[in-house]
Amino acid sequence: MGPTVAIIGAGFAGLCMAIRLREAGIRSFTVFERGPGVGGTWRDNTYPGAGCDIPSHLYSFSFERYTSWTRRYPGQPEILAYLEMCADKYGVRPHVRLNTEVTAAVYDESLGRWRVRTSAGEELFDVVVSAVGQLSRPRLPDIPGMGDFRGASFHSARWDHSTDLTGRRVAVIGSGSSAAQLIPPVAEAAAHLDVFQRTPNWVLPKPDGVFAPAARTALHRVPFLQRGYREWFYRYTEGVLHPALSGGWSAGPVRERALAHLRARVPDPELRAKLTPDHPVGCRRIVIDSGFYPALMRPDVDVVTEPIVRVAPGGVETTGGLREADVIVYATGFDATGFLSPVEVVGRGGRRLAEEWRDGAEAYLGIAVPRFPNLFLLYGPNTNLGHTSIIFMIECQVRYVMGCLPYLVERGPMEVAPAAMDAWRRRLAEAMGSMVWQAGCTSWYKDAAGRITTNWPGPTTLYRRLTRAPRPSAFRFAR
Ligand SMILES: Cc1cc2nc3c(=O)[nH]c(=O)nc-3n(C[C@H](O)[C@H](O)[C@H](O)COP(=O)(O)OP(=O)(O)OC[C@H]3O[C@@H](n4cnc5c(N)ncnc54)[C@H](O)[C@@H]3O)c2cc1C
């Protein structure tokens, strides 16, 4: 019998952890999920046009090479169906407790175990694995008068499907990745759309397309072809996109590509000026979408750049006056830098994680935190990416946690040693220095103090090497 494991969250990360535990013959785990289904991001983001911006042959598990993707960049329903299929195929469902939010995890030193408190009660576990995601808590802006709005209003990740947009005046606040995806279908339905943009983003076209029957059959039948297809994308993202973010050779070409896309799609010079970023490409998350610019060119769509003053009962008021609206969509992103902190996590010596992280979240390899024994984080601090598939990182982390289990079974609760954490901190700071994210732009990559606590600053090949197996010398053990 293996250790008992509490997994918090049933998105890609929580499911991956659960699958690997089962494969290792460990059945003594529970996946707590506050939502009504598995899928995480892909359960929550049902806005029109929702989809991935990394091709799904890469944005999927390496061990479950789904062969039936209908298109290169599938939409949310197809990705959610893939995750549900994985939960079934790998026998994870019986371990998942839906509609059960973890509110606290308190380390009981006398037992060397975690007291996990949920909306349904308290249970003891040897190990806690956080898989709460970085983009799972929608962030609403703090605009005066939001509560006074007469019409329907909602966040993009909480889409209100009962609100019909046909023939309505719609305001979309925000112009990042989610906004870029939902704006084309919303513009199509609405009588008029105002897009409120604070900062323009760099936009690259998305080379999407439905697979022709022959290509689909070939990708389905020839495993070698599918592996090669995935590998090709991976090498492209690592070899071309990553250097663009780290001041490498491709920064210029990627910028040129984005500018050429802007010039080709937005002939109106006034609108083009509004949409031209003044920060280096990659400083903020690059938007990958081919439908965004054409939608903004429509005569019934306006890009509003005057600052918003307040939300009025009848619309959105800017310094330029009132823009009437029947519906407001907040495409304003997520609280990415909060990580696990909304859960009350208390480690050894009564240390509170929220307090430990008051100057910014940090974790050794993004996975382990000193003084929090047998607590492991998936998609934790400094493991987000701006260029390739997060699933790659999640799989590295899950393999690492699986590698820790035999140690903690044999030698008792393990926690990362301060010296290893210090070395990690130094390494991270050094690598971060060359990244474009620091280059004087605002972005969700940064916490309130301006520290980049979300992103991994190196190539993912390096991360894979660093997380290949735990080094016992980096940890302290109870025995
Ligand atoms: C619209 C959108 C598009 C994206 N597209 C891409 C892409 O193309 N490529 C890419 O690499 N990444 C993309 N991402 C990032 C995406 O979040 C990750 O790729 C991946 O889905 C993260 O999986 P996860 O399991 O770590 O987190 P999530 O999918 O966010 O799942 C976390 C789960 O934890 C649950 N949870 C949180 N707190 C608690 C609690 N206290 N108790 C119980 N349950 C809890 C949540 O309900 C949720 O189900 C996108 C994100 C969004 C929002």
Site to probe by mutation for ligand 1, drawn from 136, 340, 454 as the one with most ligand atoms within 8 Å of Cβ, is 136
8 A C-beta contact, residue 313 and residue 146: no
Site to probe by mutation for ligand 1, drawn from 42, 98, 125, 132 as the one with most ligand atoms within 8 Å of Cβ, is 132
Name the nearest CA neighbour of 400 among 423, 416, 412, 422. 416
CB of residue 132 inside a 6 A radius of ligand 1: yes
CB of residue 15 inside a 6 A radius of ligand 1: no
Site to probe by mutation for ligand 1, drawn from 16, 84, 158, 390 as the one with most ligand atoms within 8 Å of Cβ, is 390
8 A C-beta contact, residue 404 and residue 414: yes
CB of residue 53 inside a 6 A radius of ligand 1: yes
State the distance from the centre of ligand 1 to the C-alpha of 88, rounded, in angstroms: 19
Using the predicted structure, report yes or no on whether residue 13 has a pLDDT greater than 80.
Answer: yes
pLDDT band at 2 (very low <50, low <70, confident <90, very high): confident
In sign, the C-alpha dihedral spanning 421, 424, 429, 432 is: negative
pLDDT band at 316 (very low <50, low <70, confident <90, very high): very high
pLDDT in tens, 132-148: 999 999 999 999 999 99
State the distance from the centre of ligand 1 to the C-alpha of 211, rounded, in angstroms: 26
CB of residue 61 inside a 6 A radius of ligand 1: no
What CA–CA distance (Å, rounded) separates 289 from 185?
13
pLDDT at 439: 83
Q: List all residues 6 or more positions away from 96 whose beta carbon is below 8 Å from its beta carbon.
A: 10, 18, 30, 31, 33, 38, 87
Q: Report the pLDDT averaged over residues 85-106.
A: 98
Q: Tell me what the pLDDT averaged over the chain comes to.
A: 96
In degrees rounded to 5, what are phi and psi of residue 310? -165, 165
Overall pTM > 0.75: yes
Instruction: List the structure tokens of 53.
Output: 């911006």
65 vs 260, residue with greater confidence: 260
State the distance from the centre of ligand 1 to the C-alpha of 419, rounded, in angstroms: 31
In ligand 1, the atom with minimum distance to the C-alpha of 41 is 29
pLDDT at 220: 85
pLDDT at 440: 82
CB of residue 47 inside a 6 A radius of ligand 1: no
State the distance from the centre of ligand 1 to the C-alpha of 132, rounded, in angstroms: 7
Q: Report the pLDDT averaged over residues 176-183.
A: 98
Residue type for position 418: P
State the distance from the centre of ligand 1 to the C-alpha of 137, rounded, in angstroms: 9
Residue type for position 207: P
Using the predicted structure, report yes or no on whether residue 1 has a pLDDT greater than 80.
Answer: no
The three-state DSSP-derived secondary structure of the chain is CCCCEEEECCCHHHHHHHHHHHHCCCCCEEEECCCCCCCCHHHHCCCCCCECCCCCCCCCCCCCCCCCCCECCCEHHHHHHHHHHHHHHCCCHHHEECCCCEEEEEEECCCCEEEEEECCEEEEECEEEECCCCCCCECCCCCCCHHHCCCEEEEHHHCCCCCCCCCCEEEEECCCHHHHHHHHHHHHHCCEEEEECCCCCCEECCCCCECCHHHHHHHHHCHHHHHHHHHHHHHHHHHHHHHHHCCCCCHHHHHHHHHHHHHHHCCCHHHHHHHCCCCCCCCCCCEECCCHHHHHCCCCEEEECCCEEEEECCEEEECCEEEECCEEEECCCECCCCCCCCCEEECHHHCEHHHHCCCCCCCECCCECCCCCCEEECCCCCCECCCCCHHHHHHHHHHHHHHHHHHHHHHCCEEECHHHHHHHHHHHHHHHCCCHHHCCCCCCCECCCCCECCECCCCHHHHHHHCCCCCHHHEEECC
CB of residue 79 inside a 6 A radius of ligand 1: no
What CA–CA distance (Å, rounded) separates 271 from 263?
11
pLDDT band at 400 (very low <50, low <70, confident <90, very high): very high
Q: Report the pLDDT averaged over residues 274-294.
A: 96
8 A C-beta contact, residue 379 and residue 133: yes
CB of residue 338 inside a 6 A radius of ligand 1: no
Name the nearest CA neighbour of 328 among 358, 344, 308, 346. 308
Q: Give the residue, by CA position, lying nearest to ligand 1 atom 13.
A: 52
Q: How buried is residue 122: exposed, middle or buried, by Cβ count under 10 Å (0-12/13-18/19+)?
A: exposed
Report the share of the chain in percent with pLDDT over 70.
Answer: 100
CB of residue 346 inside a 6 A radius of ligand 1: no
Residue 286 CA from chain centroid, whole number = 14
pLDDT at 67: 82
CB of residue 361 inside a 6 A radius of ligand 1: no
pLDDT band at 355 (very low <50, low <70, confident <90, very high): very high
pLDDT band at 359 (very low <50, low <70, confident <90, very high): very high
8 A C-beta contact, residue 339 and residue 345: no
pLDDT at 164: 98
Q: How buried is residue 339: exposed, middle or buried, by Cβ count under 10 Å (0-12/13-18/19+)?
A: buried
In ligand 1, the atom with minimum distance to the C-alpha of 118 is 42
CB under 8 A, 24+ apart: contacts of 405-411: 405/2, 405/3, 405/24, 405/26, 405/127, 407/470, 407/472, 407/475, 407/477, 408/3, 408/126, 408/127, 408/374, 408/477, 409/2, 409/3, 410/479, 411/477, 411/478, 411/479
CB of residue 392 inside a 6 A radius of ligand 1: no
Neighbours of 410 (CB within 10 A): 10
Q: At what angle do helices 76-89 and 12-23 cross, to 10 degrees?
A: 20
Instruction: List the structure tokens of 392.
Output: 């790659």
State the distance from the centre of ligand 1 to the C-alpha of 105, rounded, in angstroms: 20
CB of residue 116 inside a 6 A radius of ligand 1: no
Using the predicted structure, report yes or no on whether residue 192 has a pLDDT greater than 90.
Answer: yes
CB of residue 18 inside a 6 A radius of ligand 1: no
